[in-house]
Structure 1
Amino acid sequence: MGNLPPHRIHSDYPFLNTAVDYAGPVMTLNRKGRGSQLISSYICIFVCLAVKAVHIELVTDLSSETFLSALHRFIARRGKPASIYSDNGRCFVGASKELAKFPRDNSHTISDRVADMAIEFKFSPAYSPHFNGLAEGSVKAVKFHLKRVLSLANLTYKEMNTVLVQIEAILNSRPLTPMSSDPSDLIALTPSHFLIGRTALLPSSEVNNDDATKIHSLSRYMRIQTLKGHFWKLYKSEYIAELQKRQKWRRQGEQLRLGEMVLVKDDQAPPTRWVLGRVTRLYHGTDGVSRVADVLTTSGTICRAYNRLCPLPVIADQSTTNAAATALLLLPWRRQDVDA
């Protein structure tokens, strides 16, 4: 494998270098009530190449004009990217040509201004989806569980857009690495920290997500909350499984260390609520291997076995993480929140 390109490890602000890809189609209702018909819609996923934050837009077709509209909505909320990486889809190629024509249609002064704000499109080679692997991975994270969730109910365009925005918050709330090496610090760095300065939280809804047989008897609002809960349950279990890959039986893997930050499996946690804690005590067996630990969380100290604990990835140079976290909290537009 080659080294990571510079835009994967350096960024002035989120979405400065962005990857984009489409997922779908997903079926949406053209209206509510009887006589409604299912129409095809598509999911446009923007991924920040540096912090892996996700932005999701729902579009009605695969035309260049529709993608340009989605791109304008993305820029209005996330800022203009310097470069966009994508495959050779017709909508992406057509949009790049359309944006390239704009500066030549204006006066010299406006042309210079727009040229400074131009977006550089970079296309991966044909039949090489792994060159845009970060966007492909985000498409998988959304589509793999979404197609199972959407089989429970049919949604209108607005309802589908609401579900996708809540899925975006779930994806951006995943813990990446500890904020610091302080044993008393129970905060993990998430993609949403780079977007809003804190962890994304969704309001809890009083819905039993285990009972999917009665979803059609719920109101349309509660259907959306039920689908959100189902997606959270599926995505959380998959993300924890990715963090907890260990070799069994044949050789001893890495053991937990005192003060290490871990993600605790909690099947009852509401969406975007990741239970994080620090290891305060290890219990060793007769063979000298620890399989149980005490974990300090925001709600107190709990005792869990290793199959319920998932260590977060830690950068080798922890000072780099500390400096990044400090710089993040001291940004001018976030300093007032810290002082408060």
Structure 2
Amino acid sequence: MATLSSERLAETAPFTHCGLDFFGPFKVKERRKKRKTYGLIITRLSSRAILIELLEDMTSDSFINALRNLIAIHGAISTIRCDQGTDFVGAFNDLAKNMRITHHYPDIKFTFNPPHSSNMGGVWERLIRTARNILKGMGEKHGGRLSTPQLRTLLYEVMSVMNSRPLGVVTEEQTPLTPNMLLTMKSQLTLPSPCVFEKADIYSKKR
């Protein structure tokens, strides 16, 4: 096994060094129409904390908007690792062009994996599989019946579950360290009780 990169070991603010990728699609319902949406998973390389954004499409514009959201919430980003998707490469070219013109956009270093090398993106590919497994257990199998706000809420709760996973060995003597403890300084996150749902609730107007 090769040595870990410096970004994986650096003691920095959350999401200073991160990796990301799209996953999906997810079908959402808007009135009588159905359309596809996509999730963008962003993981901090050192603590493996994640952030999930719901995007309308897989374009450079949507990715840049999600990137601006991340910077607005968590501050400046130094490094982004991703594959060579046209959306990521297009966003990199747009940001580089904007920097040359205005000199105001933060300098973000993009590190692209070689083509057809999904194994080099294991940092986020494994987290995408975990997110899919949680979605299956939370009812995403009823795809096409959720609205965009409902799916966004579901993805945020998936993010909370994944950020509550222990980072080390769990023992009875110590409270396990989790990504949420590093992000929020809180040992536990409690969500409002979802009450009890029946199968008929899936088809009702008020969920």
Pick the aligned partner of 1:75 from 71, 74, 90: 71
Between the aligned partners of 2:85 and 2:14, the Cα distance in structure 1 is 24
**C-alpha contact (below 8 Å) 2:51/2:159 kept by paired residues:** yes
Q: Which amino acid aligns with 1:126?
A: P
Secondary structure (helix, strand or coil) at the match of 1:135 reads helix
**C-alpha contact (below 8 Å) 1:23/1:143 kept by paired residues:** no
2:140 — aligned with what?
Answer: 150
Task: Quickly say closer, same or farther: Cα 1:14–1:37, change in 2 above 3 A.
Answer: same
Between the aligned partners of 1:30 and 1:24, the Cα distance in structure 2 is 18
**C-alpha contact (below 8 Å) 1:44/1:58 kept by paired residues:** yes
Where does 1:48-197 land on structure 2 (aligned, <5 Å)? 48-106=44-102, 111=103, 114=105, 117-147=106-136, 149-152=139-142, 154-177=145-168, 186-197=174-185
Is structure 2 residue 199 aligned with structure 1 residue 213?
Answer: yes
2:19 — aligned with what?
Answer: 19
- Residue 118 of structure 1 deviates from its aligned partner by 0.6
- Residue 216 of structure 1 deviates from its aligned partner by 2.3
**C-alpha contact (below 8 Å) 1:19/1:85 kept by paired residues:** yes
Secondary structure (helix, strand or coil) at the match of 1:199 reads coil
Normalised by the size of structure 1, how large is the TM-score? Answer: 0.56
Task: Give structure 1 stretches of 5+ with no counterpart.
Answer: 222-340
Which is higher, the Rg of structure 1 or of structure 2?
1
Q: Which amino acid aligns with 2:117?
A: S
Between the aligned partners of 2:117 and 2:19, the Cα distance in structure 1 is 15
**Could you list the runs of 4 or more consecutive aligned residues of structure 1 that deviate by over 6 angstroms after TM superposition?**
none
Residues 212-236 of structure 1: CA deviation (Å, up to 9, x unaligned): 6343266644xxxxxxxxxxxxxxx
**C-alpha contact (below 8 Å) 1:44/1:59 kept by paired residues:** yes
**C-alpha contact (below 8 Å) 1:175/1:190 kept by paired residues:** yes
Task: Quickly say closer, same or farther: Cα 1:217–1:132, change in 2 above 3 A.
Answer: closer
Figure out how many residues of one structure are paired with residues of the other and give that number: 205
Q: Which amino acid aligns with 2:95?
A: L
- Residue 142 of structure 1 deviates from its aligned partner by 1.0
**C-alpha contact (below 8 Å) 2:134/2:158 kept by paired residues:** no
> Relative contact order, CA 8 A, sep 6+: which one is greater?
2
Between the aligned partners of 1:93 and 1:84, the Cα distance in structure 2 is 12
**C-alpha contact (below 8 Å) 1:21/1:87 kept by paired residues:** yes
RMSD, matched Cα: 2.2
Normalised by the size of structure 2, how large is the TM-score? Answer: 0.89
Task: Quickly say closer, same or farther: Cα 1:95–1:213, change in 2 above 3 A.
Answer: same
Q: Which amino acid aligns with 1:146?
A: L
Between the aligned partners of 1:220 and 1:75, the Cα distance in structure 2 is 34
**C-alpha contact (below 8 Å) 1:172/1:200 kept by paired residues:** no
- Residue 105 of structure 1 deviates from its aligned partner by 1.4
Between the aligned partners of 1:200 and 1:219, the Cα distance in structure 2 is 33
Task: Quickly say closer, same or farther: Cα 1:199–1:100, change in 2 above 3 A.
Answer: same
Between the aligned partners of 1:41 and 1:63, the Cα distance in structure 2 is 11
